[in-house]
Structure 1
C-alpha cells in the first residue's frame, strides 16, 4: 500500500461500464516525511476522500478487490483516509 495525498479529481463522461458511478481522484505519492514525489496517478475512491486528504492507496489486483468488481479496469484504489502516521526512521 502507498501513502498519498489527493490533489485533484478526474471527470470522465465516457468510461467503461464497470467504472460507472465510481469517483476518480488524482493522487500524489508521499514519502515518510509527507513530502510529495513526482509520481502522480489516478485512483478510484472507495471511501469518499476529498482533495487535500492523506489516503492509503492499494494497487494491482488488490485495487479491483476493493471495488468488489474483479472485471473492472482498475490499477489503483483509495481504501482509507489517514488520520495520523507514526513512524520512526
Structure 2
C-alpha cells in the first residue's frame, strides 16, 4: 500500500467492459510529509476521492478486484481509502 496524492481525473470514452462505469484518477506517491516521491499512476476510485486528496493506493490485482467488487476485471491499482490528515 502506498500513500499518494490525487492530482487529476482520467476521462476515457473507449475502454474494456470491466472498466465501464468506474472512475479513474491520476495519483502521485508521496512520503509521510506529503512530498512527491514517485511517478504518477492511474488508480481506480470507489471512494469519491477528489483532486488534492491524500489517499491509500493498493497496487495488487486481487485486492483491487475485491475493493471494486469485480472478480473478473483486470485492475492494477485502486484507491483503498481517503486519508483524513497527515501528521
Q: Give me the TM-score of the superposition, normalised by structure 1.
A: 0.90
CA distance in 2 between partners of 1:38 and 1:68 (Å): 28
| Distance in 2 of aligned mates of 1:38 and 1:57 | 13
Structure that is richer in strand per residue: 1
Could you say which residue in structure 1 is the equivalent of 2:40? 40
Q: Deviations over 1:17-65 (max 9, x none)?
A: 1111100000000011210123110000010000010011112121121
Question: RMSD across aligned C-alpha pairs, in angstroms?
Answer: 1.1
1:65 partner SS? helix
| Runs of 4+ residues over 4 Å off in structure 1 | none
Deviation at 1:72, TM superposition (A): 1.2
Match of 1:50 in 2: 50
Q: 1:84, CA displacement in angstroms?
A: 1.8
Q: Is the 8 A contact 2:6 2:52 kept in 1?
A: yes
8 Å Cα contact 2:2/2:57 also seen in 1: yes
